[in-house]
Chain A
Amino acid sequence: MKRNLLWRGLLILASVLAAIGAAYPPQQKINLGLDLRGGMHLVLQVHTEDALRAETDGDMARLVQQVKEDSQGKLEIKSQRTGDTRFTVSGLTPDAKITVLDAAKRALSRFNHGEQSDSITFDMLPGDVSKLRDQSVNQAVQTIRNRIDAYGVAEPVIQAAGGERIVVQLPGVDDFERVRKLIKNTAFLEFRITVYPKDGAHPVSREEILQHFGGKVPDDVEVLPAQRGERDAGAPGPLFYAVERRRTVTGRDLRNARPELGNMNQPIVGFSLTPDGAKSFSTLTGEHVGSGLAIVLDGQIVSAPRINSRISDSGIIEGSFTQKEVEDLSTVLRSGALPASITYLQEITVGPSLGRDSINEGLRAGLVGSALVVLVMLLYYRLSGVNAITALVLNVLLLFGGMGLFHSTLTLPGIAGVILTIGMAVDANVLVFERIREELRAGLTVRKAIDNGFERAFTSIIDTHMTTLISAMFLFQFGTGPIKGFAVTLVIGLLASLYTSVFVSRWIFDLVLSRRKVATLSI
């Protein structure tokens, strides 16, 4: 008996030490959730169709170029993108068809084609489509990571979350507005040729554009909103440019970008292009000298300077930027432009002061609640109450030890879980104590009453723990961050309470009984 007691005591001691080891120091071992420490939680959607369209446009341009080369410039085909991953070459004579298909064999590797009477439709192969989608999501993850690293956030989480989604978690950020822009604003850079006003001098109203085209904008032209410059201050309403739908050079072709100062000492961004990008850019600008070059950022035209001469591998982006905007824009362009635009599907931003308030309130509620429980247990069960409270303290210790061990995160609902655990942990003690009292009233000896009490209450204790565990498991499965935190604390707390209320509390009784002959029990 004695020996048995010793071993059990050592086991309990070991579990206490292990728990302390796993949870101390708590500032390092227990992760606080974003809702407590403050920070941002973002769910982003990558519009991979942007990347697909860009790829399709690029391939289409390549085909047109190839046809032109093959026919020594005699054949100028009319092509148009008719879907995210599809384009059509139309108005073809039978001879021209053969030339185009021949050129396609060399220029296009990932397209199927279907022939109609005077046109050919090219479709991207499904395998390539999904590969491109995956690629652009991964690239977006990498890009955002680069940006966040450049900004400097401790322990950021940036990961693909299935489909086209990315989850970003940034603890302890203080300038939310800036981070929000840093991640997103940057997104998609492209260069387009302006159609109206032709030289890109100044943006105009939508009505004026419609009037120019006689009511209907042609299929290969797109109307995009323009950022207001200082010159446009007098113009009423939102302003637009009509630009070519086709995009040949995008942010992906960028090699570097840096903040610079323009002629008027205004902040601008200077950029240089990759060799491939430079080739396309040079063709594009060479063909459109005199037109405006619309610099489109996230679907908005930041400026549309006139192309004075062929530009090959470098240029500048002008717009009404502040110094900080130019810096951030360079950062994001340099860290890799995003392959596609991004939408925030979900955003949770918690300022650090909100989180701290929550911790303080939770702590106060927990302390008051525990104090009440301790008081009632002592009043009602006297010395046995001390036993239960010892078990309870151990329970909380094990709970935090378990959290440290599993690297789980303490969230605000998690704090509620801890408080609830304190309330429910003593339930098991109450079950046992009430049973012991009953057995004592039935005239059993102290020793026997305790044995019976633990034995008979055991089924109930298991049942009560199981029912709550079932709920907690499904909460863990389906819950989001903070709720998962609640489920985890509840599960660990319940398991710990099973151990403390059955094993530890029993050991304390046995320990006391082994010392002396006890005729009455303080319960």
Chain B
Amino acid sequence: MRLLGDTDIDFMKYRKFWISISLVLIAVFFFAVFFIHFNLGIDFAGGTQLTLRFRDKPQVDQLRSLLAAAGLGDAEIQRFDKETANQIIVKTAVTKGSEEGSRERVVGALNRHFNQGQAGKLDLNTAGADDMVQLLGGTVSPALAAPAAAGPAASPQAAIADALIKERRKEGLFRDWDAVARTPGLDKAALETLRDRAFLGEYAVLGVENVGPQIGKELRRQGFWAVTLSLIGMLIYIGLRFELRFGIGAVMASIHDVLVTLGLFIVMRFEFNLTTIAAFLTLIGYSTNDTVVIFDRVRENMRKNRRKPLIEVMNESINQTLSRTIMTGGLTMLTVAALLALGGDVLRGFAFVMTVGIIVGTYSSVYVASPFALLWEQMFGTRSRIRGESGNQPAGARSGAGAAAGRSVPAGGSGKTAAASPRPQAKPAGAEPASGSTPRPPRAAAGRRRSGRR
């Protein structure tokens, strides 16, 4: 099966249109950064985040006023995961002058409301094994006179407590007493004791994340260095492997991908955290490698036919690698899209970056990387830097005019008139052996487009 036949699309012809689309998307990024702002995760912003699961459907408004009454009016409250999970995330900002966050205040406020009137009873939804054993009449206390290394499950009570905790893990909390009764090994008497002396708290804290200002600062710094250094690393690698103009094209494409994806990311209000940084770095690697494949082909085709102008070589190379570009991007996207749809809320931001990034990255290797390489060529280019060129090819009819035209542009192009012939090369031809002087129309046209700059 073939998706595409031998295509011969003049990609570069439409580059201005597509570049303007890119510019619009980049404008979205700047708009987002300045007017919407990042939704910074706990790890960067610092603060406290609690994941709570309730027995009954939680009312966000009610929770909000509860916390506001406890002086936590700035707390962010949002539903998390599936509707039926009754799960809520509470995020509070860094408490000034405190490293330890507001976990206790949040839990305190919730307990005052939800679990009032249960004083003296044990909350089965938060209790640890030892408390349960004690409640069931087991003997823990004297054992502590000897170091508490006796080991678990020494008594029948301990066995029941272990079973209860295992059962509780299934849902995160006991929704009702029927759920408690389903615990294997729990006899009637023990259940009665529990019903009598314990209660089922309205909610359970499933997870807490607290990042004090100190650690938050460090994580921000680490994130910054990870991004900066891998960009530099990527630059060095590309610099070693490719000529300058291709390097510029690849880097521009990466920057483009990051800006566009980040813009949409902010607009969608995803949380920006360490995992997101990981996603963006992976994206940079991925989008670069997409570009690299096209440029590898460009390089190969340039060696085959050094007389061909870059713009044609590019079109040819993009067409040749098109089905490859679509296949690789598409296949990787299938996996990350599955992650986006099914991977759960924690990885959603990551999956979003990768999914959008791969689409944008695939597009940008055609419409950002190549035009930039072309632009660079037109502005500063010489074709003498093509590797492996040794001048052993005769100067044919389609001689190196294009190169001459390209080289001539920085010297001023051809002025405002539409003259088809550019000036003679401003720089010495150097090692370029076959630098003819007959301009070839497409190149000259390309040169002319840049002309009015002076």
Contacts and interface: CB of A to CB of B under 8 A. Distances in A.
Interface in B230-245: 230, 233-234, 237-238, 241
B68 to A, nearest CB: 23
A368 B99 contact: no
Given A351-B172, A434-B327, A438-B320, A463 B278 contact: no
Contacts of B210: 344, 346-348
A149 interface: yes
A337 to B, nearest CB: 16
Contacts of A366: 335, 338-339
A259 interface: yes
Give the dominant DSSP class at B's interface.
Answer: helix
Give the dominant DSSP class at A's interface.
Answer: helix
Given A353-B206, A468-B285, A473-B233, A413 B148 contact: no
B333 A471 contact: no
B189 interface: no
B141 A259 contact: yes
B105 to A, nearest CB: 14
A373 interface: yes
B151 A379 contact: no
A464 B172 CA distance: 43
B350 A413 contact: yes
Interface residues of B, number: 97
Interface stretch (A137-145, A277-285, A474-482): A474-482
A62 to B, nearest CB: 34
A423 B147 CA distance: 53
**Interface magnitude class on chain A:** 35 or more
Contacts of A437: 2
A351 B51 CA distance: 9
B205 interface: yes
A370 interface: yes
A463 B128 contact: no
A354 B172 contact: yes
B119 interface: no
Interface string A103-118: 0000000000000000
A479 B274 contact: yes
B344 A420 contact: no
Nearest to A377: B331
A242 interface: no
A372 B278 contact: no
A358 interface: yes
Interface string B157-179: 00000000100011110000000
Contact of A471 (B151, B234, B274): B234
Contacts of A438: 320
A416 B351 contact: yes
Nearest to B225: A478
Of A331, A348, A423, A463, most B-chain CB atoms within 10 Å: A423
B367 interface: no
B66 interface: no
Contacts of A330: 144
Contacts of A357: 81, 344
B233 A470 contact: yes
A424 B332 contact: yes
Interface stretch (A74-82, A172-180, A194-202, A206-214): A172-180
27 contacts: A151-B148, A174-B128, A177-B126, A346-B210, A347-B209, A348-B210, A349-B207, A357-B344, A358-B347, A361-B343, A369-B334, A376-B334, A412-B346, A415-B343, A416-B343, A430-B324, A430-B331, A434-B327, A460-B293, A466-B237, A467-B234, A470-B230, A475-B226, A477-B229, A478-B225, A482-B274, A483-B274
Given A348-B208, A357-B81, A465-B289, 17 more contacts: A175-B128, A175-B129, A344-B99, A345-B214, A349-B207, A349-B208, A349-B209, A366-B339, A380-B327, A412-B346, A422-B335, A431-B293, A460-B296, A464-B292, A478-B229, A480-B43, A487-B278
Interface of A: 43, 45, 149-152, 174-178, 258-259, 323-324, 327, 330-331, 334, 343-354, 356-358, 361-362, 364-366, 368-370, 372-373, 376-377, 379-382, 412-413, 415-416, 419-420, 422-424, 426-427, 430-431, 434-435, 437-438, 441, 456, 459-460, 463-475, 477-480, 482-483, 486-487, 490
